[in-house]
Structure 1
Amino acid sequence: MNPRPIVQFNGAPTLAILLGASIWGVVWYPLRTLAALGVSGSAASALTSAAGCLFVLLVRHRSLATLRWHWLLPALALAAGVTNLGFVWGAIHGEVMRVLLLFYLTPAWTALFAHCLLRERLTWPGAALAALSLAGAMLMLWSPRLGLPVPGNLAEWAGLAGGMGFAMNNVLTLKMVRELPGMKAEMRTVTVFGGAALVSACAALFEATPAPPTGAHLATAAWLVVLLGSVLGTNNMLVQYGLARVPANRASIIMLFELVVTALSAWLLAGETPGPREWAGGACIVLASALSSWVHRGKPASQAGDDSDPERRNRARAMV
Structure 2
Amino acid sequence: MTTIASSAPSADGATHYEPQWTAALFILVGASVWGISWYPYRLLAGWGLGSMLASSVTGAVAAVLAAVVLRRHFPTFQWSWLIPALGLAAGITNAGFVWGTVHGTVMRVLLLFYLTPVWTALLARFWLHERLGLRGGVLLALALSGAVLMLWSGQAGTPWPGSAAEWAGLIAGLAFACNNVLSRLAGQRHPTMRPEMRTVVVFTGCALVGLPAAVLLDGVQTVPAAITQTNTWMLLLGMACVLVGGNAMVQRGLQRLPANRAALLMLFEIVVAAVSSALLTSERLSMPEMVGGACIILAGALSGLSRRK
Q: Judging changes above 3 Å, is the alpha-carbon distance between structure 1 residues 160 and 278 closer, same or farther for their aligned structure 2 residues? A: closer
1:69-88 matched pairs, under 5 angstroms: 69-88=79-98
Give 1:231 deviation, angstroms.
1.1
Provide the secondary structure at the position in 1 that maps to 2:131: coil
Q: Which residue of 2 aligns with 1:115?
A: 125
Q: Which residue of 1 aligns with 2:10?
A: none
| 8 Å contact kept, 1:173–1:240 | no
Give 1:239 deviation, angstroms.
3.1
Q: Which residue of 1 aligns with 2:273?
A: 262
Match of 1:183 among 193, 196, 204: 193
Match of 1:44 among 20, 41, 54: 54
- Give, in whole Å, the separation in 1 of the partners of 2:26 and 2:152: 28
1:204 aligns with 2:214: yes
- Give, in whole Å, the separation in 2 of the partners of 1:132 and 1:243: 27
Provide the secondary structure at the position in 1 that maps to 2:226: coil
- Give, in whole Å, the separation in 1 of the partners of 2:139 and 2:21: 18
Which is further off, 123-132 or 224-233? 123-132
* Cα distance per residue 1:168-211 (max 9 Å; x no partner): 01111122111111111221010011011001023224543494
| 8 Å contact kept, 2:106–2:273 | no
Normalising by structure 2, report the TM-score.
Answer: 0.76
- Corresponding letter in the other structure for 2:32: S
- Corresponding letter in the other structure for 2:49: V
Alignment RMSD (CA, Å): 3.5
- Corresponding letter in the other structure for 1:235: G
Q: Which residue of 2 aligns with 1:227?
A: 238
Q: Which residue of 2 aligns with 1:68?
A: 78
Aligned length: 287
| 8 Å contact kept, 1:14–1:246 | no
Q: Judging changes above 3 Å, is the alpha-carbon distance between structure 1 residues 90 and 27 closer, same or farther for their aligned structure 2 residues? A: closer
- Give, in whole Å, the separation in 1 of the partners of 2:171 and 2:84: 18
Q: Highest Rg: 1 or 2? A: 1
Provide the secondary structure at the position in 2 that maps to 1:25: helix
Alignment gaps of 5+ in structure 2: 1-18
- Give, in whole Å, the separation in 2 of the partners of 1:110 and 1:293: 12
- Percentage identity across paired residues of the two chains: 48
Q: Which residue of 2 aligns with 1:89?
A: 99
Alignment gaps of 5+ in structure 1: 1-8, 299-320
- Give, in whole Å, the separation in 1 of the partners of 2:176 and 2:286: 28
Q: Which residue of 2 aligns with 1:170?
A: 180
* Cα distance per residue 1:256-311 (max 9 Å; x no partner): 4433321111112335456655665665566556545543332xxxxxxxxxxxxx
Q: Which residue of 2 aligns with 1:150?
A: 160
- Corresponding letter in the other structure for 2:87: A
- Give, in whole Å, the separation in 1 of the partners of 2:174 and 2:230: 36
| 8 Å contact kept, 1:66–1:182 | yes
Q: Which residue of 1 aligns with 2:16?
A: none
